[in-house]
């Protein structure tokens, strides 16, 4: 037999390879141990998650008298058209029943269930199906369209419930788990991380959404979002999608917001919110410069509703709200959330930037109502020639101001915009100029006088109204435009 000859060099290489292999397997084991295990969380909480099915009456969209066409018996479209037009082919009924699915979760052993308002909106019948296959009819205790919340009640005792957590303790990057019924598949589990907090959506004003990458699809709406401690921190509500399915962007209502709504729905069947009576907009870099601010932050006031708490407190168009009740306003979407959750009648301080200077206003928060209609007053029509901004404006008469909901004698209409500072700022034909450099615009002649006072190479704010909505733009006249 031959002998195995080992040199010191070969032994060294062998030991080195063994160390590397051990390190690799050890690293994989460590990484595996760091990944969360959701099995116990799901076991402990699935029983408190429910499937919600609803039935609504839907009016047909087919014109009355439009009947099913004659088709061959063996046509593949026959069955579909017979269902659509009715078995006898004589036309679909004026109303038919439609069903939808969603999710929810039990928060009380006596049968209180939370879900989204859009899951049960206009429902004639609501059925809650439990994990043990029981199906129970539910009654609506109350709904809140602004937060998309609904509180239901089923008649049962000793029901399993979820644990309520604190959504304000969530951190970006934290693991979260959703349980719900996407596409009707009961108790489906998906997991991901918190992508952002305090996210605002265009259609929602009073909810600072939790954004996650948890897979959420139709049917998940109203279901719970858990943290790793098995506590509900949000209610899955919306997705961003170009296809109708999950694309990596999901939004949940923070549980702190939801439980405040639930308490009010239990106590009085409705939700009251605070209101200042202002319309606001975000502040970008150029607007911040035009308002004399070092950095973009806060909410700029576009309009003050007459006889509102804001008007009484002395708010003015062009004020930038940077703090409310001691809390900073970083983005404009922060303000409605804070105001909405403030008790009605409470007096709070609001810090604003006005013409580059900070001041504090004390405002008594009112109850949220529909915006007051703004009426206008007479004005003498005038037309101005093209100016150093590169645009032409005309004054408005009383009828035009009333139709546009303009207050007092404010506003001139843009009739033409040529290449120049106005076009660069985003001003377009048909816009109504309301303020220029913090001064109200009342007529074409006065507007021309204001233009002559504008500084060069410095951004100034201009308030316009477009499609009945006010918006601030930053206007800058360059040296060559003088």
Active site residues: 118, 148, 221
Residues 6+ apart with CB under 8 A from 97: 55, 56, 57, 58, 124
Query: How far apart, in Å, are the Cα atoms of 188 and each of 46, 113, 176?
Result: 9, 18, 14
Q: Which two tokens stand for residue 352?
A: 């604003």
DSSP string across 41-58: HHHHHGGGEEEEEEEEEE
- Cα–Cα–Cα angle for 43, 45, 48, rounded to 5 degrees: 130
Query: How far apart, in Å, are the Cα atoms of 197 and each of 93, 153, 235, 280, 306?
Result: 47, 30, 14, 21, 34
Query: How far apart, in Å, are the Cα atoms of 445 and each of 151, 405, 414, 416, 434?
Result: 57, 22, 13, 16, 14
- Rounded to whole angstroms, how far apart are CA atoms 223 and 235? 6
Label residue 129 exposed, middle or buried (CB < 10 Å: 0-12, 13-18, 19+): middle
DSSP string across 347-409: EEEEEEEETTEEEEEEEE-EE--PPPP--B------B----TTSEEEEE--HHHHHHTT--BT
């Amino acid at each position: 037999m031959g002998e195995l000859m080992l040199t010191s060099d070969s032994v060294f290489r062998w030991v080195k390879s063994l160390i590397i292999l051990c390190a690799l397997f050890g690293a994989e084991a460590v990484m595996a141990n760091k990944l969360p295990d959701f099995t116990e969380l799901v076991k402990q909480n699935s029983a408190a998650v429910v499937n919600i099915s609803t039935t609504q009456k839907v009016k047909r969209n087919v014109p009355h008298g439009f009947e099913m066409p004659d088709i061959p018996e063996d046509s593949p479209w026959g069955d579909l058209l017979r269902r659509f037009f009715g078995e006898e082919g004589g036309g679909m009924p004026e109303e038919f029943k439609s069903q939808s699915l969603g999710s929810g979760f039990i928060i009380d052993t006596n049968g209180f269930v939370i879900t989204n308002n859009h899951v049960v909106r206009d429902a004639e019948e609501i059925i809650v199906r439990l994990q043990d296959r029981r199906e129970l009819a539910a009654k609506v205790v109350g709904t809140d369209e602004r937060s998309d919340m609904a509180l239901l009640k089923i008649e049962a005792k000793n029901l399993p419930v979820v644990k309520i957590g604190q959504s304000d303790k969530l951190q970006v990057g934290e693991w979260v788990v959703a349980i719900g019924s996407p596409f009707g598949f009961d108790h489906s589990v998906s997991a991901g991380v918190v992508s952002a907090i305090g996210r605002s959506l265009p259609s929602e004003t009073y909810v600072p959404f939790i954004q996650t990458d948890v897979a959420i699809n139709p049917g998940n709406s109203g279901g719970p979002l858990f943290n790793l401690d098995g506590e509900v921190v949000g209610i899955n509500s919306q997705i961003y999608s170009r296809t109708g399915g999950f694309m990596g962007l999901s939004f949940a209502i923070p549980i702190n917001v939801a439980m405040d709504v639930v308490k009010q729905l239990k106590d009085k069947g409705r939700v009251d919110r605070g209101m200042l009576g202002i319309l606001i907009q975000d502040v970008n870099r150029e607007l911040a410069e035009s308002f004399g601010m070092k950095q973009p932050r806060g909410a700029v006031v576009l309009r003050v509703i007459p006889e509102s708490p804001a008007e009484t407190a002395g708010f003015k168009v062009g004020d930038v709200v940077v703090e409310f009740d001691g809390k900073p306003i970083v983005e404009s979407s922060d303000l409605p959330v804070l105001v909405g959750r403030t008790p009605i009648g409470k007096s709070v301080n609001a810090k604003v930037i006005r013409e580059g200077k900070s001041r504090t206003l004390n405002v008594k928060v009112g109850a949220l109502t529909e915006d007051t209609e703004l009426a206008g007053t007479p004005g003498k029509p005038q037309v101005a020639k093209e100016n150093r901004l590169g645009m032409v404006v005309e004054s408005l008469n009383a009828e035009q101001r009333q139709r546009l909901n303009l207050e007092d004698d404010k506003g001139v209409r843009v009739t033409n915009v040529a290449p120049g500072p106005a076009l660069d700022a985003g001003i377009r034909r048909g816009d109504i100029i309301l303020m220029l450099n913090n001064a109200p615009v009342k007529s074409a002649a006065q507007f021309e006088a204001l233009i002559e006072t504008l500084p060069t190479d410095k951004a100034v704010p201009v308030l316009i109204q477009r499609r009945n909505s006010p918006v601030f733009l930053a206007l800058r006249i360059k040296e060559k435009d003088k």
